[in-house]
Each structure stands twice: as C-alpha cells, then as structure tokens.
Amino acid sequence: MGRKNRNRQRAQQNRDGRAEGKRSRDDAGWGAGYAEIIKENKLFEHYYTELKIVPEGEFEEFMEAMREPLPATIRITGYKRYPDELAWHTNLSRKILRKSPLLEKFHQFLVSETESGNISRQEAVSMIPPLLLKIEPQHKILDMCAAPGSKTAQLIEMVHSDMDVPFPEGFVIANDVDNKRCYLLVHQAKRLNSPCIMVVNHDASSIPRLYFDQDGKKDILFYDRILCDVPCSGDGTMRKNIDVWKKWTTSNSLQLHGLQIRIAVRGVEQLAVGGRMVYSTCSLNPIEDEAVIAALLEKSEGALELADASPDLPGLKYMPGITSWKVMTKEGQWYSDWSEVPTSRHTQIRPTMFPPTDPEKLANMKLERCMRILPHHQNTGGFFVAVLVKKAPMPWNRPDGSSADAPVEAVEGETPAEGNPSVPDTPDLLEVKKDNVCGPPPPKKMKLFGFKEDPFVFLTEDDPIFPSIQAFYDLSPDFPKLNVLTRTHEGKKRQLYMVSKELRNVLLNNSERMKVINTGVKVWSRNTDGEQFGCAFRLAQEGIYTLCPYIRARIINICVEDVKVLLTQENPFLRKLGDDAHNQAKKLGMGSIVLRYLPDPKDLDAPQCPIDLCGWRGKTSIRAFVPRNERLHYLRMVGVEVFHDKQGKRNDCSTEIQEGSTEDAVGLSQEHHSSVPFYDAAAAETGHLEVLVG
C-alpha cells in the first residue's frame, strides 16, 4: 500500500473514531464521562434539608426538578426594534433541540440568529440580574466577572435602548480574570456591534480604579451600575452541569466565601453614591449568598442598603432571603456561631460566614429582600440575587475618616493602596486573604506592560486618510472623527474602528492602568484597489448602523424584492434591481455603497423596520457585502426561509450566481458575500414556547 493511501486510511480511521466518540458522548446526553454520573448526593440533600431553604413539604419536588434536564431558553435582542416579549422558555432540553430531526430547522434558526446577534441562548435565571440593575442609556456600567458574556450582552442592549442614537453616553466595561475566557466575552459582545463596550482582563478583587477627564480636570471614574456576578460553587446549575452532583461538598463554598467578599467590596468601592450594584450567584448556599451580603452591609456602616426588587419583576417566583443559617464542614460537622468554631478550624471557617448575632442589627439589614430562585417553582436553574444601593461613601473611603453620618455628597477617595481593597478598619472582611484559605493565593502584581494585545491608536483630526473618506461618503460635519481608532502605530491602517466619546475618554486616561482586550466596532476596511474609485476604505457591515447617521452619499434605496435579489444572488447585474434602485445605481460610480430599505407603513406584510446593507457597485453589477448569518436573518425578514440538511445538501434557487463581471468583485473577500441557497417552506414543529419576560 502506498504512503498516500496509508495516510488516507489513517485519516479516515481518525475521523471515524472521532465520529464514534461524538456519538457515544451524545448518546450519554451530557458529554464525555457523564453517562456514569448518578444524580444523587446525600451530603447535598442533608445540608439543604437542615438549612430549610426549601419550603416545608417541597423538598422532594425540589430534588426531582434538580435531576431533570434544564429546558432551553432564548432571549431576543432588545434594541433591534422587536416586540416587548423578549424572552422565551421552551419545553425542550438542549439535547432534544440539537438532535431531533423534527426540530432541525428550528435549531438551525437558533444557531444562525444567535451568531448574527439577534437572539441569545441564555438560561432564564441568568437574565434576571441585568433587569434588576434598571439601566438607562447614560449609565456607566462595570460587569466585574463577565465571561462568557450573556449578561454582558443584555447590558449592552439596555445601553442601546434607543436605536436612533448611535453613540449613547453610557458604556459597559466587561472584565474577566481569565484571559482565554475574555475572548469568549469578545465574541459575545461583537455580535451586537456596539461602540460602547470595552473588554478588560483583571482580577475583579483588585480591578484598578480608572480616571477620566471631566470639565477640564481628571476625576475618579465611579460607575452608575455594577454587575457583581461572582465565581461560585454552582450548585444551582446541577440541571445542566451534571458533574456538580459528584463533586459537591460544603468546602467549595467555604473556600470561595472570602474571594466573593473581596470582589463585592471592590465593587461597592467603585460604585457611585446613588448607584446600584446587583450581587448574584448560581449557588443556593447562604455562605456564598446572605453571608456575603450581611458582611458587606455590616462593614458599610449604613453606606449600603438592600433594595426591595420584588416590584421590578412582579411575575418572578422566588423565596425571600433567610436570616438564620449554620455552617457545615465537608465532614458533616455543624457550627451555629463563630464562638463554637475550634481554633484548628479558624483557617477554614471565618466569622463573616455566620449571621449577625445582634438581633437589631440583623433586622435592620432586611436580608429577606434577597431573592433565591428554586428550580421547581418555575422550571429553571437555581439562583441568588440581591440589589444594593449606595447611600454614602464606604467608611474607609471617606477623606475625613468620619462614620456613617458623613454627608452623601462627600467625594470618595482612593483606597489605601491603589487596586487593593485591604484597609485597617475592615479586618474580618479581608483576613481571609491573609490566611490564604478562602480562595486562590493572592495574585501576583499586575504587569502593565508586555501584553501581546495590539495597541489602540486614535486618529488625529488632520489624519491624511480622512479627506478621501469624507468626500467619498459625504460625511456630515458632526461626524466624530476623534472617535476613530486603529490597532497599529506603524504601516498602513487596515481596519478602522469607532468607540463612543466616553469610552475614548476612558482609554486615553488609563492606557497604562488596564489591560484592554478589545473595544470598538469596525466601520471601515482597507480595500487595496479602492483608491482608483476615490476611496481606499470600504464600509464594514459590522459598523453600518453606527456610521449611517453620518453618511449622506453612496446610498441606494431598495425594496423588498431588491433585498431578495441582493441576498440570494452573488453578483447580479444592475438590471436585476427594480427600476427605482436601478436608476439610482446607474448614477453612482464604482465602489462601496449603502443599500437601504425603508419600511412602507401601508404594506404591513413587508418588514416594518429599516435595513441597511453594505454593498459594492461594480462596473455592470452590484452585490451585498454581508456576513452569512446576517444574510439569513434578513432573508427571513422578507419571507425567505433558509435551510441546510445535515449532509450540507441544499436547494439553490440562485441560477445566476456568477452573472456579473469578475471585474466588479475587485478587492473583495469571498468570505462575507457568498450566495445563500434557500427554499420557501414552513418552519418545522418547534414545540411549546412560553414567554418569560415582558
């Protein structure tokens, strides 16, 4: 047998082995190694029976729900002009959605719409914290532990609640300690094409304090809203993370408690007076939940207040926070009070893990305002959430060292050591870090240089690339040139991005204080052959809705039939367009264009929201320059259903794919504008859908 044949055979065997392995994992239903996992943990049952977090008589129902697969839920992107019923709950597990032939079309729909940023497949309880933040478009928001990014996406959507404003005053800074997970975060954020998001990579417990210019002076940046969704033991996720069943012990919570407090402390330090912070976990354990909130409230000396969030989600079923709990070791030893803990256990069990002993102090905390979501009450995962409002600076941040009656308008100072919440007058909150038992070892000092990320370089107003862009697209005088950036100091600028004015302010004032992974939305890409047509930069679909308010030329108005032609034919002749669009196109020279559909209120069968597509006007033809999944989305909007079978076979109704001249495609990447096969058919039966959030 020749070498090539042997190599082919080995490659085929490898493919067969991988396919068989995948089938085995899929048959198990949950992933490699999960088939052997028995959904039982006696210590877990004993612990939560003793703590009485589940109403009397419901514990068996609670455990049965924990053993059932988690149903799939989806959320429609909130700022893309959709109705108010934005979150939907199916009666189907993720496995059934993925594997059922009857649901193949629906699954493809979910995948492509998720990739194009129009929906998010997000667990129902995960949607709650952003809703409770009460975000407005002008808010400065910090997401402290953001990866993988489903909640971050919600925050971005809320900042962009008015789609007619391309640059809201507010922004989202999304942080995660794990560099690799930061790129999952970038992927999530990029789907939404926002100029108001920045992804950074820091330890949340020591995230650096940032500065910005305000009225000619440099001020500390305090956030209006902070999402503090901390790392946790995750026992509320047993329905989807099956390995928690065999790994669960109380030691997970004991080890995380200190880290959770440190992160929460750092959060409230950076929260503006009058601001709102949501603390959340996917754990049911009071050591990670009420104990952390009680510690924060006690040390705040009245600066923080637990808000009653129940009116904000009136349909939500939840259990109020508890005010009495005990601490159990992994060996099953119980302690009701810190005084009972032997000295030998002081490195594992801390005073802040217990409820306050003073009845009046405990009552004033109003811990019952915390919310614990139990799986059997509305077929969800388990979750905990609490809303904190900041009434005054934290005691250790008050410049005069005064107590809780300091004036609300006092300006917070810096912590004793920049980026470190450790202070002499809060020993119980922070001893856990010194003991090095509640969480990972103290992080090494953050390096501010030597990261491999490309730089973020803002263009100057007189940059030589601007005149040709300005003239070609007839940009309006109020176009914010100073918000344009690139990712290189040297050589030709290949991509141009835009951020909001406020994020530009943050970047310019903190470039040496933080590690920025990604920011900005791509608005132009260099086209090497474009100069002959008057401009070296073509429009990028990602940034079309950011740019369009400023573009006054190179626009062709199109109708629904034009949309169908442009998105199903790769390079149609100009004459394929309707008469109106054809006449407009003939008046334009070659180069990048905007293809704009405007709704007709009289034609209710047509899409009732505007559509802007990037395109290219060739010598004799025209094409849309739109990523594949976005094409599928717009085709669905105009009534064209798109579907591939599992073998990749497709019915292709585009009979004139290569109709236009090859000269017309000069300089354009094939990746973004391949034709999309389609057929007109009803969607498959998709099972019951139930609205979650109005």
Q: Which two tokens stand for residue 543?
A: 């940034």
* 203 is known to lie in a ligand binding site: yes
Angle at 324 between CA 321 and CA 325, to 5 degrees: 100
Q: How far apart are CA 266 and CA 205, in angstroms?
A: 6
> Is 147 flagged in the annotation as binding?
yes
Of the chain, the end-to-end C-alpha distance in Å amounts to 66
CA atoms within 13 A on the CB side of 485: 21
Q: Residue 269 to residues 272, 331, 535, 549: CA-CA distances in angstroms?
A: 8, 37, 48, 38
Q: Would you tell me the crossing angle of helices 59-67 and 42-51 to the nearest 10 degrees?
A: 140
Say if residues 37 and 243 touch (Cβ distance below 8 Å): yes
Please give the Cα distance from 484 to 505 (Å, whole number): 12
Q: Is 146 annotated as a binding residue?
A: yes
CA-to-CA distance for 432 and 604, rounded, in angstroms? 62
Do residues 132 and 387 lie in contact, with contact meaning Cβ atoms separated by under 8 Å? yes
282 tagged catalytic? yes
How crowded is the C-beta side of 535, counted as CA atoms within 13 Å?
23
Residue 128: both structure tokens together: 């709650």
Q: Are 120 and 150 in contact (CB under 8 A)?
A: yes
CB 76 within 8 Å of CB 86: yes
307 is in an annotated binding site: no
Q: Is 151 annotated as a binding residue?
A: yes
> Using an 8 Å Cβ cutoff, are 613 and 660 in contact?
no
Indicate which residue of 182, 196, 228, 282 is catalytic: 282
Find all residues with CB under 8 Å of 256, minimum gap 6, and list them. Answer: 230, 231, 232, 233, 288, 438, 439
Q: Which two tokens stand for residue 689?
A: 């859908």
Q: Which amino acid type is present at position 338? A: W
Q: How far apart are CA 51 and CA 372, in angstroms?
A: 13
Q: Is 520 one of the annotated binding-site residues?
A: no
176 C-beta neighbours (distance < 10 Å), count = 26
559 is in an annotated binding site: no
- Calculate Rg over the CA atoms of the chain: 28
The 3-class secondary structure across 590-632, one letter per residue, is CEEEEEEECCCCCCCCCCCCCEEEEEEECCCEEEECCCHHHHH
Give dist(CA 102, CA 684) in Å, integer: 6
- At 155, list the tokens: 């925050």
Angle among Cα 126, 169, 193 to the nearest 5 degrees reads 55
Strand ranges (E), 288-331? 304-306, 319-320, 327-328
The β-bridge relationship of strands 319-320 and 484-486 is unpaired
Query: How far, in Å, are 58, 243, 244, 382, 640 from residue 38 at the CA level?
Result: 22, 9, 11, 19, 46
Sequence-ordered strand ranges (E) for 10-111 = 71-76, 87-93
Task: State the Cα–Cα distance between residues 173 and 461, nearest whole angstrom.
Answer: 26
Identify the CA nearest to 694 among candidates 82, 71, 129.
82
Q: Around 533, how many Cα atoms within 13 Å sit in the side-chain half-sphere?
A: 25
- Integer Cα distance of 220 and 75 in angstroms: 35
Short-list 108, 116, 182, CA closest to 145: 182
Please state the residue numbers annotated as binding site for S-adenosyl-L-methionine: 145-151, 176, 203, 229
Please state the residue numbers annotated as binding site: 145-151, 176, 203, 229
Active site residues: 282
